[in-house]
Chain A
Amino acid sequence: MKKDFIKILSVLTVLILSINSNILIAQTYSISGTITDLKLKPIQGVNVVILNTNIGAASDHNGNYRISDLKTGIYTIEFSAIGYQKFIKENVTIQNQSIILNIELKESVILSEEVLVTAGKYEQKKSELPVSAEVISGKEFIERNFSNLADAVRFVPGVTMTEDQISIRGSSGYSRGTGSRALLAIDGLPFYTGDTGEIVWEMIPVLEIKRVEIIKGAASSLYGSSAIGGVVNCLTRDISEKPLTILNGFYGFFDKPYYSEWNWSGKRRPFNGLTLSHSNTIGNLGFNVSFTRLEESSYRKDDDFKKYIGFIKTVYNFSPAASVTFLANTFNKRAGQFLYWKDSRNALVVPEKNMNDRIETNRYLFGLMFKNLINDKYLLNIKTSYYRNYFKDNEITPNESASNLYRGEVQLNTNITSSIVLTGGVEGNYSKVNSSLFGNPEAVGFGIYTVADISFSFPLITSIGIRYDYSRLDSLKASGSVSPKLGFNYKIFNNLVLRSSLGIGFRAPALSEAFTSISTSGITIKPNPNIKSEHNMTIESGLNYSPFNQLSLDIAAFYNEYYDMIEPGIDPTDGKVVFTNLVRARIQGFEASASVSILPDQLTLIFNYTYLWARDLETGLALRYRPRHIFYSTIDFRKWNFEAEINFRYSSKVEEIDEELIDLGIIVDGELRVPVYTTDLKFGYNFLSTGFPLNIYLNVKNIFNYNYVELIGNLRPIRNFSLGFNFAF
């Protein structure tokens, strides 16, 4: 199989080279210019798109943009950026010479013109999507001293985290580090381990994140297995055209626990992080390279860690229309293992039998992506990746596991007519595991998909697509799955948009869900050779309304029906954890959010509420680790060079947990759980106006020192303070 994969890679390489050599050598011209605001201040990151084509560019940090390789003709160009009113320039004529087109954009508080690439695997406006989507800006990570992508995802409406496992609209509970119902991708490259199929959030260096796009609901019709509950696509920073070095760091400490009996160390426990990043372009080659070191003593005993993250992104432009990107992300972690507390009186200490348990992890992701604008109608993307995951613990007989995952995808975007965008592709993957926990299984998968987005004049956009996936997990019976989708986006008025979608999703079990055999910390997990793939049907309807510039409202109702949902449970005959298929589960609810700009560009309020009712239809019980009510609120104030933010998060007490682990006496006092109330404060100051390219941020998280768990026996971080800086030169 490995040889086959190498063959496929070879064919793709030849294909890349042959396509590149066929680039048309006709006379071409460019449109370039500078984009500023009304005060002539350059605007970075403006999307410049020639309508009805795949051709576009983005402005750099000086507001400059350039679209090259254009033939003689008449074009309509759209300029859009978050925080600015969209501007469309019609009848831009190119006749035997390049032209310069400088643009001024007016500021706007309406944020609905964000452009996303995840929902349809090409650039689409958020306001024109048939599904709900959220965007986290990369600066959020810096401003809030986040060192882990998962920390930011917790604050996305409709998303909950149970420790490191994401649940989009209740799609997941807690499956002990195996499988995920959301697909994480980095620059479109799926990023899940070959053995457990889990998301390793901590591996992505947050300084390199430009933005994170989150699509809610089944996205299997484009992304296949794992995207059954949604997609989280992490887009990395653009490469600077001039040398740019960024030094980013933070230092903080955990306060003393509220209860004196939890104060196991008698000290305030420190944490820190430092990232050095450099970006530059030399000729046709551009690169971002960074190194990150993170260290934490932790508020919990035997929960300390040291992490090292390396990141490289290089882009070589063969021509304005063709480029190849190489991406490498490495990760090393040495950490203690805090699985659950000793008891409620020793909530920050592990049981004696688990003391000094440690783990070392090494992971590597390598990706090669080729992009070629064949002409103004056809855009080709070829993506290949290799992800190696290795870990080892310090048991007397160490548990050790290595997995290798190979992926390849060829995707073509076509503007058939000015109103139809057709996206299609094929992808394949192969993983091989050598593990003391999972055995030595291997898995193969293959998918083929096509989606058509059709724009009508009324103005209605419909999206219709289908995907077929084939999956085989070692000795298990192979399975195939068809995942269709249908979506609508109807703009009744400019400020009132309706959207609706229906999608069928599927997820093949991870190798670990089928083959895990391990006993650790009193919990024994056994394999299930009869496990089947799970399927779901997602229906969503939403409405976005901005009655006036200062107010934006969004509501959405969703209904998910799951068949053969894979959940961990206890086999009553032997007390072992086993992954089994629930017969049928239903998750339904609604979301409502509002963004109010009380003082334009100065004071903003954001509210989000999600009602979630997730239940096992066979037992009538709530699905585990899903809260019924989730509420987020943010008050953000910015003036002069100062900013302050209060962030409040609430989720109701989860109704069902792993009661068996309590009954069996494995997790003492594990029944203790409460609603979640966390309140964070952030202060920032920008020294740029003084001529010094420095930002500093002070964060106080969990200011009321509220004690809560997401998973039984695991207290979430107590109050902590951190001071961060971001210095660019």
Chain B
Amino acid sequence: MLVLLTAACSNYGIEPKPVLKSPPGFSGTIRFISEWPDSVKRSFLVVFKNPLKSDSDFTILNLKFLSKEIPLGIQTHKFSSLDSAYIPATPGLFSAGSYFYVAVVQQSTENLSLARKDWFVSGVYYTDNDTTTPGVLIIPDSTFVKNININVDFKNPPPQPPGGN
């Protein structure tokens, strides 16, 4: 009991997290290099923590960023993890770490859907001009990573992750 009482007296439990000088996160630009198809009802930027190797990787818990709708018909769109988004619901710090799939997706359904069958990938983030595999977004501690740029060519979409139609 003395041990517990000592523990009770010697700390104050939960404490505020320190404010980081540079909050971890990311930003970049999406460039739409072809005309928007009429079938597109909404478009988003998405970031998945783990690679999309199978249907089971396409889950809400693997999805770490789902932007608000990108305005239809525009040619360039700047984004930041500090923007308001569906996921995370509260804008702010974005956890440092490696994210294995960053993409622009479209939907043609009436309502926002998180079902894989309703998603179509129109642009993927690549690193070092290697378009054979999706690039990895690496966010070191206390670092805000810029220039996460993605090109979208509706006429030449990238390979689709598993689980689609």
Contacts and interface: CB of A to CB of B under 8 A. Distances in A.
A574 interface: yes
Interface in B53-92: 59-61, 63-64, 85, 87-90, 92
B89 A522 contact: yes
Interface in A170-197: none
Contact of A704 (B9, B15, B16): B9
B89 A666 contact: yes
B114 A574 contact: yes
B60 A574 contact: yes
Interface of B: 1, 4-5, 7-9, 11-17, 19, 59-61, 63-64, 85, 87-90, 92-93, 114-115
Given A343-B17, A522-B89, 6 more contacts: A259-B12, A522-B90, A663-B61, A673-B14, A706-B8, A706-B13
A573 B92 contact: no
Nearest to A659: B61
B98 to A, nearest CB: 16
Contacts of B64: 663
Contacts of B89: 522, 664-666
Interface string A646-666: 001010000000001001111
Nearest to B60: A575
B14 A262 contact: no
A571 B114 CA distance: 11
B88 A343 contact: no
Given A572-B60, A573-B114, A704-B9, A259 B15 contact: yes
Interface of A: 258-259, 261-262, 343-345, 347, 351, 522, 570-575, 607, 631, 633, 648, 650, 660, 663-666, 668-669, 672-675, 677-679, 704-709, 715
A668 B61 CA distance: 16
B164 to A, nearest CB: 15
Contact of B8 (A351, A572, A648, A669): A648
A708 B7 CA distance: 13
A336 B19 CA distance: 28
Nearest to A676: B13
Contacts of A668: 90, 92-93
Contacts of B87: 575, 664-665
6 contacts: A343-B92, A345-B17, A574-B60, A575-B60, A668-B93, A674-B14
Contact of A648 (B1, B59, B90): B1
B88 A666 contact: yes
Given A351-B90, A573-B59, A631-B4, A677 B17 contact: no
Contacts of A679: 5, 8
A570 B114 CA distance: 13
A677 B8 contact: yes
A706 B93 CA distance: 27
B19 A572 contact: no
**Chain A contact residues, majority secondary structure:** loop
A675 B1 CA distance: 15
A239 B14 CA distance: 46
A631 B123 CA distance: 56
A665 B88 CA distance: 4
Given A648-B5, A666-B88, A715 B61 contact: no
B16 A261 contact: yes
A708 B14 contact: yes
Given A573-B60, A648-B4, A706-B8, A664 B14 contact: no
B14 A672 contact: yes
Contacts of B88: 664-666
B12 A706 contact: yes
The listed residue with most B CB atoms (<10 A of its CB), out of A258, A572, A573, A665, is A665
A239 to B, nearest CB: 42
Contacts of B7: 675, 677
A621 B85 CA distance: 31
Nearest to B93: A668
A344 B14 CA distance: 8
Nearest to B18: A345
Nearest to B91: A665
Nearest to A677: B8
A707 B14 CA distance: 5
B16 A345 contact: yes
Nearest to A678: B8
Contacts of B1: 607, 631, 633, 648
B19 to A, nearest CB: 7
B8 A347 contact: no
Contact of A344 (B16, B61, B90): B16
Nearest to A660: B61
Given A631-B4, A677-B4, A666 B14 contact: no
A668 B94 CA distance: 11
B105 to A, nearest CB: 16
B61 A570 contact: yes
Contacts of A351: 90
Nearest to B85: A665
Contact of B16 (A262, A650, A663): A262
A674 B8 CA distance: 11
Given A648-B4, A668-B92, A707 B60 contact: no
A633 B4 CA distance: 11
Contacts of A343: 17, 90, 92
B99 to A, nearest CB: 13
A562 B66 CA distance: 37
The listed residue with most A CB atoms (<10 A of its CB), out of B1, B5, B16, is B16
A712 to B, nearest CB: 11
B5 A707 contact: no
Contacts of B12: 258-259, 704-707
B90 A347 contact: no
Contacts of A650: 4, 8
A572 B59 contact: yes
Contacts of B9: 704
A573 B115 contact: yes
Contacts of A677: 4, 7-8, 13
B114 to A, nearest CB: 5
B68 to A, nearest CB: 13
A709 B14 CA distance: 8
A666 B88 CA distance: 6
Contact of A572 (B4, B61, B90): B61
The listed residue with most B CB atoms (<10 A of its CB), out of A262, A574, A664, A675, is A664
Contacts of A709: 14
A715 B19 CA distance: 20
B41 to A, nearest CB: 18
Contact of B60 (A344, A664, A706): A664
B15 A707 contact: yes
Given A573-B114, A666-B88, A347 B14 contact: yes
A664 B62 CA distance: 9
Nearest to A522: B89
Contacts of A648: 1, 4-5, 8
A344 B87 CA distance: 19
A51 to B, nearest CB: 42
B61 A707 contact: no
A606 to B, nearest CB: 12
A665 B60 contact: no
A720 to B, nearest CB: 15
Contacts of A674: 13-14
